[in-house]
Amino acid sequence: MPRLRLTSQRRRYPAEHKQVTVLFADVVHSMDIAAAVGAKRLREIMAEVDDRRAAVVQPRWPLHR
């Protein structure tokens, strides 16, 4: 595998700084829920969770989705 020359890469691709927001949500007992309801229903539940998240996040930060 060829070695990258970082100094040459810096000249070709200048650093770009972006501000990002990361949202992490832990669904408590998600594996227990999955075992109880099955994969298809879990996907539906998680889609509902994401819809609710989007309803809160989207109005405040319209560029996120």
Q: Tell me if 7 is assigned to some domain.
A: no
| Residues 65/58, Cβ–Cβ less than 8 Å | yes
Whole-model pTM: value is 0.54
Q: Tell me if 2 is assigned to some domain.
A: no
> Containing domain of residue 27, as a range?
19-60
Residue range 21-41: average pLDDT?
Answer: 89
What does the pLDDT read at residue 43? 95
What does the pLDDT read at residue 29? 92
Q: Tell me if 54 is assigned to some domain.
A: yes
Question: What are the structure tokens assigned to 28, written together?
Answer: 């408590």
Q: Tell me if 45 is assigned to some domain.
A: yes
13 has a pLDDT exceeding 60: yes
42 has a pLDDT exceeding 90: yes
Q: Tell me if 38 is assigned to some domain.
A: yes
**Confidence class for position 8, pLDDT limits 50, 70, 90:** low
Count: domains in the chain: 1
**Confidence class for position 40, pLDDT limits 50, 70, 90:** very high
Terminal alpha carbon distance of the chain: 37
